[in-house]
Each structure stands twice: as C-alpha cells, then as structure tokens.
Amino acid sequence: MALLQVRDFPDDLYKEYAAYARNENRSIAQQTIYLIRKELGATESNKSRRRRLLDNAAANPLTLSSEAKDPADIVNEDRNV
C-alpha cells in the first residue's frame, strides 16, 4: 500500500483535522482516505451503502439446511468439553 506524507502541515490545522476525524469515529488516515475518495467522487453515503447492503441481503436470504444443528445445542456441546 502506498504511503502519503504531507510536509509542513500547519499544527493548528492538524489539531482541528484530528478532532474532526475523531468526531467522525475515524483515524486520521481513515478520514484522509474518506475525504479524498469523496472529493474524487468515488464514495457513497453511509445511508445509500446501508440501503444497498440491506437490499442485497433481502434479495439473497439465508437458508439453513435441514441438517443444521440448533445453535443452543452447539453452545451446550462447547460448554461440556
């Protein structure tokens, strides 16, 4: 993976940027990647991403085989070992 280095980044801007990333629950690196992707038009909003994932899950429901064990039985087996 490539490494990005920014020289002479102002300290006051860095502190503000770090706080902004923290408020978005991202690291500075994650926030930088997110903002660059957003600026380049290569991102989708969280809402549209969630909608796409939910639609995909609804279109492809999970089916369990009749041979599948009951999860409670699996837990009990693990506890008895």
Hunting for tokens 């429901």 — which residue is that? 61
pLDDT at 43: 66
- pLDDT tens-digit map of 42-77: 767 778 888 889 999 999 888 877 788 888 888 988
DSSP element (H, E) containing 74: helix 71-79
CB 24 within 8 A of CB 32: no
Claim: this prediction has a pTM higher than 0.75:
no
φ/ψ of residue 41, rounded to 5: 75, 25
Distance CA 32, CA 4 (A): 10
Identity of the amino acid at 10: P
